[in-house]
Amino acid sequence: MPGPLTKATADVSRSQVPTWLRWILTLLLLLATVTFLDISAIWQELRRFSLPILLAAMVISVLQVLVSAWRWRYTAGRLSISLPFVMAAREYYLATFLNQVLPGGVLGDVNRAWRHSQDSGARLKAVHAVIIERLSGQVVMISVAMGLGAWLALHQGRVAGFITDLGAVAAGVVVAALILLGAVGRLWARGRGYVQALRRDIRTALLSWPAILVQAGSSAVVVATYLGVFALLALGAGYWTGLLELATLMALCSLLLLAMAIPLSVAGWGVREGAAALLWPLVGLPPEQGVALSVGYGLAVLISSLPGVLFIVTGRQPAG
């Protein structure tokens, strides 16, 4: 019989944007972006990304997966669940690939939570390990994006303008937060005991000492790899030659990462490029540059996730 978690997850899934609509929105957002910009200029910017730079960016993405897998393993360990690092890395690769090709950006995480729950026999804690691990990353990413965004607004002396133009991104983040709150609300309504168990596991694996330090540190490394991919691509294209230019680009790119949290498209495509087209002109940079950088980032992450295909049909092994 389905439990509170299963019922609540089904309710939330029905309340979210349908799969077919996500694909349509992704295509429409991409089409709108290239329609209002100079597509030939975007292509010229894309041609500035050399193969060695793309390969280096992909290597950083590999590090991103490995550190994320270690963070997941650590979180599971705090909840007294065995998760060998090799298994964690394999499952995280699979989840990353699925998140890149399936709408919503979280179905890969749902899959690894389910697979680990089957292997470990601790279904609830396995699900909580994934939730907490992702929560750790999101909190640090939002903190970095907000901090760099505030610095950029102050540096540009256009605080009011930034607040206005970033309204769409903020609204999207609010939508994502409301969806999360809706899920928690349904869980509370259907099973107060489950919510209490989740809170207890969050305290154990995220908020207690030294977990909070380990989670913050590992998540900071993961966010640094996100921005590192952008920085390498921008360096190869000649977008920055000094620290001030780099800081400006990293602030803009951190806001792109924040925009990707908006649960409307497939792997952030369309939303990310649309946000770049809006953000880059705010600092006097051509929007085509931002869109090209966004596309290059998306391709680098997608290609680096392809090893996950190998694990789709690979049998799971006991977690220990």
Q: Given this model, what pLDDT does residue 220 score?
A: 96
Residue by residue, DSSP assigns 220-237 as: HHHHHHHHHHHHHHHHHT
Residue 268 belongs to a domain = yes
pLDDT at 17: 57
pLDDT for residue 291? 92
* Residue 150 banded pLDDT, cuts 50, 70, 90: confident
Tokens of 15: 């309340």
Residues 6+ apart with CB under 8 A from 54: 233, 236, 296, 299, 300, 303
Query: Mean pLDDT over residues 166-172, rounded?
Result: 54
What is the number of structural domains in the chain?
1
**Residue 206: what pLDDT?**
94
Hey, is 285 helix, strand or coil? Answer: coil
Is 210 inside a domain boundary? yes
Token couple for 23: 């694909």
User: Structure tokens of 124?
Assistant: 């609830």
The answer on pLDDT for 161 being more than 60 is no
**Full domain range(s) for residue 52:** 24-310
Angle at 98 between CA 96 and CA 104, to 5 degrees: 100
Amino acid present at 181: L
Q: Please tell me the distance from the alpha carbon of residue 233 to that of residue 56, in angstroms, as a whole number.
A: 9
Cβ proximity of 162 and 149 under 8 Å? yes
Examine residue 87 and state whether it is found in any structural domain, yes or no.
yes
Measured between its terminal Cα atoms, the distance across the chain in Å is 27
**Which residue in the block uniquely carries the two structure tokens 């996950």?**
308
Whether 9 is covered by a domain: the verdict is no
Asked if residue 209 belongs to a domain, the reply is: yes
C-alpha to C-alpha distance for 150 and 145, rounded to whole angstroms: 8
Q: Is 315 helix (H, G, I), strand (E, B) or coil?
A: coil
Residue 77 contacts residue 128 (beta carbons within 8 Å): no
pLDDT at 192: 63
Counting Cα atoms < 13 Å in the Cβ hemisphere of 108 gives 23
Q: Answer whether residue 10 is part of any domain.
A: no
What is the maximum span of the chain, computed from C-alpha positions, in angstroms? 60
Residue 236 belongs to a domain: yes
Q: Is residue 120 part of a domain?
A: yes
d(CA 162, CA 33): 20
Residue 120 is inside which H or E element, if any?
helix 107-120
Q: What is the pLDDT of residue 185?
A: 56
Instruction: Read off the pLDDT band of 14 (50, 70, 90).
Output: very low
Residue among 276, 231, 216 nearest 252 (CA): 276
Cα separation values, 302 from 122, 160, 266, Å: 31, 36, 12
